[in-house]
Structure 1
Amino acid sequence: MKALVYTEPGKVEVRDVPVADGKPGAVKIRMHYCGICGTDIGIVGGKHPRAKAPLVLGHEFVGTIEEVREGSGRFKPGDRVVAYPLISCGHCLPCRTGNPHVCDTLKLIGIDQDGCIAEYAWIDEDVLFKLPETMSNTTAALVEPLAVVVRSMHQAHFELLDSAVVTGAGPIGILTAIVLKHSGASRIIISDVDEARLSLCKQFGFETVNAREASIVDYVRQSTNGEGVDIVFECSGVESAAAEMTKLARIGGMICMTGIHKAPRPVDLRDMNFKEQILIGSRVYTKREFEMSVAYAASIAADLEKVITQTVPLTKAEGVFDMIADPTVNTVKVLVDCQA
């Protein structure tokens, strides 16, 4: 079968690879689509500490079951599924106390073992979730990043009519703003330096600030009479956002770290003291939140589809990371068509 393989830093290849045999309880899945995410970009850039070449990339996938190997009877050939891609040890303190999604040795499909930007893969059935018949395959490919947002909403204790700032209009930032819209936020302000992404945000009705041209801190201060917003979702992972986020949240406000920062950042702890703000982390998602995201994706499918900007055939996917890095190509969420 064909698969997109990370071969060395800066290089991926479409290779013919064998279909790994499945153990009892696994199912063989014919892949339809798999999304490219920031983690994949980091792997290809040689910046992920665990991902080792050669590695089949991809963990945001949707496919149809073709074969079941001594399964439980919950799945059958023809079922369309998505997969919770986290792999936990089951023995560490987080696992023993009901938090396996932050396992001490957390692993993921597509990082610590071969992933699913491929024509086929064998996946354990206990991580699979069946899709509603009415959900498109392209919408289903966004269930995994949507689960990241569902987790951050829970971590931030979002309440109806809360106002929010989202820093970073990448796929997770835009999905966060979409979920805020559907959850009843009173106001949604999103900042980025990419005007094309901000233009998409305007189509959803979000207030936008181009951080290259204006100060998000000044904008929020002026437009809230100096009070700030209820919740800040930091989705950019950049140093300037970490420095500014305490200026954006109100007294008693919440700051949710959705984006992953790759290095320590300066944060104004004086603001947190004087304004009694709450700073909380959000890493991935629980299995229950992933399951919730399957149903939720069906209800907001029309907006999710607008985030998909490009679909690339697997046979031509060797250039997908160059395309994403090209500033002249306006990408938000890119899917690989695993059967094309």
Structure 2
Amino acid sequence: MSQILDKVTILEPMNPNKSTALFGGKASGILNWNDVAYPHFYTHREQIRALFWRASEVDMTQDIKQFPTLPEKEQAAFLKIIGLLATLDGPQTDMAARIAQFSTDPSVKSVMATIADQESEHNHSYAYVLSSVTTLDQQNESFETGRKDQILLKRNERIMQVYNEFALHPTIENVLKAMVYTALLEGLFFYSGFAFFYNLARNQKMVGTSTMISYINRDELQHGRFISDLFRAALAENPGNNTKEFTDWVYDQFRHSVEQETIWSRYVLDGVDGIDLVEMEGYIQYRANKMLRMLGLSEIYKDHPENPMKWIRAYVDNFDDTKTDFFEQKSRQYTKTSDLNGFDEL
């Protein structure tokens, strides 16, 4: 039976400052970054904090003018995808906080607090975008997508089950499963939606929205890196959970998630000019392979070791301008409203 986790007390001075375990261990609650169990978590913290931005600093002037001129199919996809992103990002603020509540390691709590703040801004950004380009009725309808759209409800069934199971029954096994789905969310579930906005941008449409999406994308890449590291470390600390049964469960979730993401992309993107649905399916499988490697597992989609949608690389950030397995392209510079120059660098 998997170890049941208790909410961690805030301050226990009799315990050591360096945590004895990520989950289910002991720690004083005093965070000394020079004496932590996983020193490289500090690098994650600094990288995530370096990405600070606010939705209100992105210029939406041209988007306000352009949205009514978009073809009906693009307007509908725009609103549905914003609804999808809000459905996924909204719970992430809570999920980050809940993982922090059950982690014994104060360095994990610190990083998760930063992630939670960024996820909150992501959710705010969707409301900011919609309030800029649509009526209040359309805004509210878009945010209802996650509650009413049957394709989206089916798509999100398993993540809802895994997240709620962790919330109701916090065990080592369930926090590991929640981290798998957090990695899937950060590294796979958003990506057909991101591609839609990047496709608009390469046609000089809705550039402000796409710029906002690129900042969210950049954040999610960093979140995915940290969650993957945390998952691998927690699994190493709990070898009793590192079983063939659990590994098979992870692979099954990836296959199911790819299937659902593919169904969603066909549903929402069919007929959108510039989107090749066959390429999109390959891109989804490519993203799944990358996330599996991040979690320490093997690729399962052998036909897509490389990104089939080469054009999207211009919109995906690469931190520090270095080529790595996870971050691929030159970073778009963060520019505030006062000096926004569009996409001249692309």
Fold match (TM-score > 0.5)? no
TM-score (normalizing by structure 1): 0.25
Is the strand fraction higher in 1 or 2? 1
Is the helix fraction higher in 1 or 2? 2
TM-score (normalizing by structure 2): 0.24
